């Protein structure tokens, strides 16, 4: 029913677009016919026959360069959208789609049909989306290129409109990047698209310029060509017929009209008709595959705590065997990578910076030796349940908190089947008191997600007053528990959170767990830390993070520094800000995905256990 409704809504808009395009095309053709009435057709034919063989050959070569750039549009978008389509197939489909679409008109629709024919695994809607993105990005790039030419070239027409065009592009891209939509290209993709469009437009312009008799000055011809090309794009008529000629003739009044029209006819044959015929042949001969996206086997995540977060949809198990996430400009690995060179290559293939997040000290040293820039980003607290004791001086404050919780009647224990409705109500109250949940590398409340964790529930008088959850992971021979959600209720008695952690330590000891992590806090939460991230973190973290640091310090844990690594300091700043944004403003929870178990193929991805870091721990 939804598809029928969508089709019903799209069809009237398509008919309106067809009617509008036909009307606009008829208007421009009428104006062109009126304009060329005074031109002798024999002069046009004579000028057409006078075009030499060498200019035709050079124009064909220039058109080849133009279509080489055209092939890059689809490659860039396929890479950005992570479609998994082979770059060669993507390029061929893009060239055929654009060659046919620009000639027959309604380039978005006709181009989508060609792409769907050549890449059936995409599906029609994905092919349509791709066509829209290619067309919109070319229009954006054309606006930038035309504006720069109008500003840079002397005596260019309509130079006053150039700042307006540039401002419109900057504001549009800024708004799109701020929204953070999946389809919005990052700066790498934008730069690639701008470069390709510049090569495409300049090569196409040179192809026409070579065919015009008399060799007009290129600085005069180029802005006129770009404006005429834009008029043809806006008109939507086949090959921009009518609008292109009207604007070109108007902006080049000093050129003989017969020779100019003859050059345009020859150029249309070389740059439109011939590529359209070749594109049609390529599309017809393209091997067809199964309709629908190919199914891929799920990738087993490595044995680390973050593997459980894959189920929430913001992280994923990469084929190279690490848990990762994507920001606009970064491919972020949240676990060790087996081969740093391959990881960097995989990031480049996606048009992103390679970023390693939450590295240990040893891993940070290796990253620095490999040429990456490294900065401390967090501190992780580790406890040993088997050796944990309360009767040590460093835990005097913890003992006081526990006594107060006991006096208030708080009890805490692991509940294999907790009351999810009660936990949900408490979580909602916690959010109202403290603001929204964090995301990306931090878990959020979802019963399906928490069902795979160890959940400790605190009660007072039979009522739920708090809960905590732990990732339970086996790394080699050892069991590791890692704190995920910490939810003391807003009205919970003092010491409730400490009582829940102590109950988890007792349960972990009974199960033989050797290592329990209280998770990490930002480096800026501790006043004595120095460095740019620590200083910035102190401004952004606020009292909540400092309170969390004090809470964890009360257990007298072993502190381990964690680092972030990227190819450059600008990359660290940009991707670090994107990670912070994703943490503070997470996406909506995806439907829970079933994560697979461990696979031997990925053992190398995390050789060192997180507690085996001599020299990394700081008191």
Q: Give residue-wise pLDDT tens across range 74-120.
A: 999 998 888 888 888 999 999 999 999 888 877 788 888 999 989 98
CB count in 10 Å sphere of residue 386: 13
The residues spanned by each domain of the chain are 54-285, 379-618
What's residue 544's pLDDT?
A: 64
Check if the beta carbon of residue 295 is closer than 8 Å to that of residue 542.
no
Q: Is the pLDDT of residue 4 over 70?
A: no
- Of the pLDDT bands very low, low, confident and very high (cuts 50, 70, 90), residue 195 is very high
CATH topology of domain 379-618: Aminopeptidase (3.40.630)
pLDDT per residue over 126-169, tens digit each? 899 999 999 888 989 999 999 998 888 877 788 888 888 888 88
Q: Is the pLDDT of residue 15 over 70?
A: no
What's residue 9's pLDDT?
A: 43
Host H or E run for residue 297 = none
Instruction: Report the C-alpha dihedral over residues 467, 563, 569, 322, rounded to 10 degrees.
Output: -80
Looking only at the bridges linking them, the beta strands covering 353-359 and 330-333 are parallel
Count how many residues are written for the chain: 619
Q: Is the pLDDT of residue 513 over 70?
A: yes
More reliable by pLDDT, 488 or 289: 488
Check if the beta carbon of residue 524 is closer than 8 Å to that of residue 540.
yes
Q: Is the pLDDT of residue 591 over 50?
A: no
Q: What is the percentage of the chain residues whose pLDDT exceeds 70?
A: 81
pTM over 0.85: no
What's residue 297's pLDDT?
A: 53
What's residue 592's pLDDT?
A: 41
What's residue 288's pLDDT?
A: 54
Cα–Cα distance list, 344 to 34, 236, 373 (Å): 60, 42, 14
CA distance 159 to 167: 14
What's residue 70's pLDDT?
A: 92
Contacts (Cβ under 8 Å, ≥6 apart) of 291 = 120, 121, 123
Closest to 29 measured CA to CA, from 243, 223, 179: 243
CB count in 10 Å sphere of residue 64: 13
pLDDT per residue over 271-321, tens digit each? 999 999 998 888 888 765 444 444 455 555 566 767 778 878 788 888 777
What's residue 165's pLDDT?
A: 85
φ/ψ of 585, rounded to 5, equals -130, 70
CA distance 469 to 453: 6
What's residue 482's pLDDT?
A: 92
Check if the beta carbon of residue 129 is closer than 8 Å to that of residue 151.
no
Q: Is the pLDDT of residue 355 over 90?
A: yes
Q: What is the DSSP letter of 271?
A: I
Helix, strand and coil in the chain, % to nearest 5: 60, 15, 25
What's residue 35's pLDDT?
A: 54
More reliable by pLDDT, 288 or 178: 178
Chain centroid to Cα 448, Å, comes to 27
CA distance 309 to 302: 12
What's residue 408's pLDDT?
A: 93
Q: What is the mean pLDDT of residues 398-427?
A: 93
Mutual orientation of helices 87-104 and 107-118 as an angle, nearest 10°?
A: 150
More reliable by pLDDT, 407 or 441: 407
β-strand partners of 517 = 382, 482
Token digits for 377? 């980003």
Average pLDDT score over the chain: 81
What's residue 322's pLDDT?
A: 82
């Amino acid at each position: 029913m939804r598809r029928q409704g969508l089709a019903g809504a799209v069809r009237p808009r398509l008919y309106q677009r067809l009617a509008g395009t036909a009307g606009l095309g008829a208007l421009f053709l009428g104006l062109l016919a009126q304009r060329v009435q005074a031109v002798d057709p024999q002069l046009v034919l004579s000028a057409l026959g006078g075009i030499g063989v060498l200019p035709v050959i050079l124009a064909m070569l220039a058109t080849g360069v133009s279509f080489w750039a055209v092939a890059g549009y689809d490659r860039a978008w396929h890479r950005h959208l992570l479609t998994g389509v082979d770059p060669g197939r993507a390029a061929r489909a893009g060239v055929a789609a654009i060659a046919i679409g620009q000639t027959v008109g309604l380039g978005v629709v006709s181009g989508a049909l060609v792409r769907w024919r050549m890449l059936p695994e995409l599906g029609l809607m994905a092919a349509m989306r791709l066509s829209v993105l290619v067309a919109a990005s070319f229009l954006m790039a054309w606006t930038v290129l035309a504006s720069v030419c109008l500003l840079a070239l002397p005596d260019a027409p309509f130079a006053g409109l150039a700042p307006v065009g540039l401002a419109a592009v900057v504001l549009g891209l800024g708004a799109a990047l701020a929204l953070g939509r999946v389809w919005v290209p990052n700066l790498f993709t934008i730069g690639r698209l701008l470069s390709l469009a510049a090569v495409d437009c300049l090569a196409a312009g040179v192809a026409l310029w070579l065919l015009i008799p008399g060799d007009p000055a290129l600085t005069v011809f180029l802005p006129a060509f770009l404006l005429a090309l834009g008029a043809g794009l806006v008109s939507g008529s086949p090959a921009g017929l009518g609008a292109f000629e009207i604007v070109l003739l108007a902006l080049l009044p000093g050129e003989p009209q017969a020779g100019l029209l003859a050059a345009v006819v020859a150029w249309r044959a070389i740059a439109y008709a011939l590529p359209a015929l070749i594109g049609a042949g390529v599309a017809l001969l393209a091997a067809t595959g199964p309709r629908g996206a190919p199914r891929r086997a799920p990738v087993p995540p490595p044995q680390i705590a973050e593997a459980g977060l894959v189920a929430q949809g913001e992280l994923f198990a990469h084929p190279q065997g690490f848990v990762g996430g994507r920001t606009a400009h970064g491919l972020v690995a949240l676990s060790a990578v087996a081969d740093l060179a391959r990881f960097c290559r995989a990031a480049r293939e996606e048009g992103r910076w390679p970023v390693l997040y939450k590295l240990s000290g040893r891993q940070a040293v290796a990253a620095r030796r490999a040429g990456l820039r490294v900065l401390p980003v967090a501190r992780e607290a580790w406890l040993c349940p088997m050796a944990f004791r309360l009767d040590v001086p460093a835990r005097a404050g913890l003992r006081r908190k526990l006594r107060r919780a006991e006096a208030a009647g708080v009890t805490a224990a692991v509940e294999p089947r907790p009351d999810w409705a009660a936990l949900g109500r408490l979580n909602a109250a916690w959010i109202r008191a403290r603001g929204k949940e964090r995301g990306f590398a931090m878990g959020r409340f979802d019963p399906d997600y928490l069902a795979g964790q160890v959940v400790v529930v605190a009660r007072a008088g039979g009522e739920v007053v708090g809960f905590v959850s732990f990732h339970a992971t086996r790394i080699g021979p050892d069991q590791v528990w890692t704190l995920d959600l910490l939810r003391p209720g807003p009205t919970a008695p003092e010491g409730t959170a400490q009582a829940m952690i102590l109950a988890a330590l007792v349960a972990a000891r009974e199960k033989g767990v050797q290592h329990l992590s209280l998770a990490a806090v930002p480096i800026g939460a501790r006043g004595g830390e120095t460095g740019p991230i620590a200083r910035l973190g102190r401004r952004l973290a606020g009292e909540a993070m400092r309170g969390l640091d004090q809470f964890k310090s009360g257990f007298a844990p072993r502190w381990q520094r964690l680092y972030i690594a990227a190819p450059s300091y600008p990359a660290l700043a940009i991707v670090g800000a994107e990670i912070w944004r994703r943490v503070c403003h997470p996406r909506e929870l995806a439907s829970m995905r079933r994560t697979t178990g461990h696979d031997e193929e990925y053992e190398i991805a995390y050789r060192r256990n997180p507690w085996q870091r001599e020299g990394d721990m700081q008191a």
